[in-house]
Amino acid sequence: MNRSLFLVVLSLIILLNVARSGAKSKVHIVYLGEKQHDDPKHVTEYHHQMLSSLLGSKEDAHDSMVYSYRHGFSGFAARLTKSQAKKLADSPEVVHVMPDGYYELATTRTWDYLGLSAAHPKNLLNDTNMGDHVIIGVIDTGIMWPESESFSDNGVGPIPNRWKGGCEPGEDFKSTNCNRKLIGAKYYINGFLAENDGFNSTKSPDYISARDFNGHGTHVASIAGGSYIPDVSYKGFAGGTLRGGAPRARIAMYKACWYLEELDGVTCSFSDIMKAMDDAIHDCVDVLSLSLGSRVPLFSETDMRDGIATGAFHAVAKGITVVCAGGNAGPSAQTVVNTAPWILTVAATTLDRSFATPITLGNNKVILGQAMYTGPELGFTSLVYPEDPGNSNDTFSGECESLNLNSNRTMAGKIVLCFTTTRGYTTVSRAASFVKRAGGLGLIIARNPGYTLNPCKDDFPCVAVDYELGTDILFYIRSNGSPVVKIQPSRTMVGQPVGSKVATFSSRGPNSISPAILKPDIAAPGVSILAATSPNATFNAGGFVMLSGTSMATPAISGVLALLKSLHPDWSPAAFRSAIVTTAWRTDPFGEQLPAEGSSRKVADPFDYGGGLVNPEKAAEPGLIYDMGPKDYILYLCSVGYNDSSISQLVGKGTVCTDPKPSVLDMNLPSITIPNLKDEVILTRTVTNVGPVHSVYKVVVEPPLGVRVVVTPKKLVFNSKTKSVSFTVRVSTTHKINTGYYFGSLIWSDSVRKVTIPVSVRTQILQNYYDEN
């Protein structure tokens, strides 16, 4: 267990004990560092001995001890007075003693977490006047205004002179609804109508206008550029100030996605999207944010049915940075979407936030689940897992999906434990409704950890635990004639020691169309993100909702890009991508390892998060950039084998590829991905200095396992005449068999800045053998 996980466990225990701590003693966490013994029992015995020496008896130590941390590290949690805690802290074997504490929901946690707090006078947010005059175009389900305060123009200056868009009137939406903040709002429905002949606009709950019924568009727009809103709370959790990434940027909404009642969902026509993108180009947006995507298998990048790739190519050619969601089909490999190299593709991470909910069993064992429950404490209540006792004619099922098969008397007046292997929130909400309808008082759901957390309807107590904890609860039920459980209200914890992770649902690489192009590019927070919504949205509370998905991570990157665009108005879309990729955190902001959630947790790699977790402050001054333009993207299309006619169709003008074709490995991306290395390859990159004029960078290579990486030259010298320098990278393998991908880094450093690109290499000897024979 690493230190990050250690701190997560510690802080959760803090939450558990404060409610029960007296005036004289409180829960403290005693961290002892690395284990001194491999046997967990010996570690725990040592903890008890230390506590016994302090408190005077084994009995007092037993009563005081809350947890013993004994697997990946050594430490314990115990009820201590201030003086006792100080004595332990002064002991030479103790690394740190941490007092307990409650934390409340920090509504703007995304931006504080990423270092963009408005409280700091000198940071990217304030240096750029919060993105003023930058225009973020959003293609989505529309926007809720004037109800949502997120789009108020209080304190916002005049509309930028270059703006060519407008405000299109429609159902419950007037042209005068636009203001200095929401400077454009249009809708596109013709493609949708052509594909849905039976659509009745008069009966549809959606608005035939730019007004948002679903709430998704409002949510993502407010994440990217929402105005400041003070004192926002959500479902009983204490609140704070809510804002978007670039709170003075301007928003232009292009509604191209429509609610279809028979699907109980949203659909977006390719043609409507392309038209929206076309208008956005005309209207002079600076950043185009699309929290949309398809599923594998993907259309090719020159196929007009991929309206996003097509529209994005033209937007990028006009200098507009296009940001797209990587998809929510994780953690399976090769599921990432929006993979064209001219698109900036976003993965999702969690925040450093936890909704810890103490569950106390009748044997006084306390388990910390996750929930968003703000109701009263449920005192000790009968606990049941519906299973056949062997002497009943009733039907029993402990599967969450089948709780309705149980008789009402099985669940009435009880808290029910169930297990599920499904990922969707629908399973949780349906299970909760089954229990509530039967007269049950609460639900404990055992499921794969890391899945999306939402409150249950009417604040019904429904607490999630993982399978291990669920099995502990089940064994308690089976070993006890009258099992009972107590559920306490959830408490929100933020900051250290809660750790971040790549979200389970976030789609993963490698790229299924062109594996030599690393996707996703970058990651941003996208789990339980609080932002504005429509009154019709599920879980809406006072005009706000918490949602999860790469949909939420995408506008976070769009907001960061708006700030960077304000600082560097002449940079190309590729330059912005390079800046955020080469400066990203490959750990969390506190330096802890960033795991990737999935069926088994692992350390995140470039196929999980691209360059890493976005670091806005560092991205503002990257030092060097890997730049590209439209000609480079055409060379890419040639390199991967598209014919002249299909390329010409995408580009919009006659294009003839050279013979021999260029190598896809020479694409000037801020990454190196070699999917089929047999012996050796040589590739080229070019970097442009955007830092101090007179700069010298030296190379540092962290090679993938079993791979040699040689960079020539090893030093890059820049001055007033030399602004761009090329270098070659010779990559060879020592492996004698086919391997999976191994990962490393190539870093240019001037002792102040580190310009880091991920290196991903897979040795494929057998495949090449068959190709050649």
Residues recognised as catalytic: 140, 216, 551
Burial letters for 477-490: b for 16+ Cβ neighbours within 10 Å, e otherwise?
beeeeebbbbbbbb
**CA-wise closest residue to 188 among 109, 250, 271:** 271
Pairing, β 287-290 against β 257-260: unpaired
In sequence order, the 6+-apart residues with CB closer than 8 A to the CB of 591 are: none
* Omega cis (within 30) before 489: no
User: Within a 10 A sphere around the Cβ of 392, how many other Cβ atoms?
Assistant: 10
What phi and psi values does residue 682 have, to the nearest 5 degrees? -125, 125
User: 10 by DSSP, 3-state: which?
Assistant: helix
Please give the full DSSP string across 248-269, using - where no structure is assigned.
TSEEEEEE-EEEETTTTEEEE-
Tokens of 508: 């993963």
The Cα 424–Cα 671 span in angstroms is: 34
**Residue 242 one-letter amino acid:** L
The Cα 564–Cα 522 span in angstroms is: 15
The Cα 704–Cα 702 span in angstroms is: 7
The Cα 517–Cα 495 span in angstroms is: 34
Write out 370-428 in H/E/C secondary structure.
ECCCCCCCEEEEEEECCCCCCCCCCCCCCEHHHHHHCCHHHHCCCEEEEECCCCCHHHH
Tokens of 159: 């509309």
Tokens of 652: 């919009």
**CA-wise closest residue to 32 among 44, 16, 17:** 44
Stated as kind and residue range, the H or E segment containing 127 is helix 124-127
Tokens of 21: 């701590």
What phi and psi values does residue 357 have, to the nearest 5 degrees? -135, 110
Q: Which residue has the tokens 């694409």?
A: 667
User: 55 by DSSP, 3-state: which?
Assistant: helix
The Cα 753–Cα 626 span in angstroms is: 15
User: 486 by DSSP, 3-state: which?
Assistant: strand
**CA-wise closest residue to 512 among 320, 339, 323:** 339
Considering only CA atoms, give the Rg of the chain.
Answer: 28
The Cα 665–Cα 674 span in angstroms is: 7
In sequence order, the 6+-apart residues with CB closer than 8 A to the CB of 40 are: 70, 71
**Residue 280 one-letter amino acid:** A
Pairing, β 602-603 against β 595-596: antiparallel
Distances in Å between the Cα of 57 and the Cα atoms of 49, 50, 63, 419, 750 are 9, 10, 10, 41, 58
Show the CA angle centred on residue 334, arms to residues 331 and 340, nearest 5°. Answer: 125
What letter does residue 488 receive in the DSSP assignment?
P
What phi and psi values does residue 529 have, to the nearest 5 degrees? -95, 125
User: Within a 10 A sphere around the Cβ of 200, how many other Cβ atoms?
Assistant: 8
Residue 652: exposed, middle, or buried by beta-carbon count in 10 A (0-12, 13-18, 19+)?
exposed
What letter does residue 167 receive in the DSSP assignment?
B
User: Within a 10 A sphere around the Cβ of 43, how many other Cβ atoms?
Assistant: 21
* Omega cis (within 30) before 713: yes
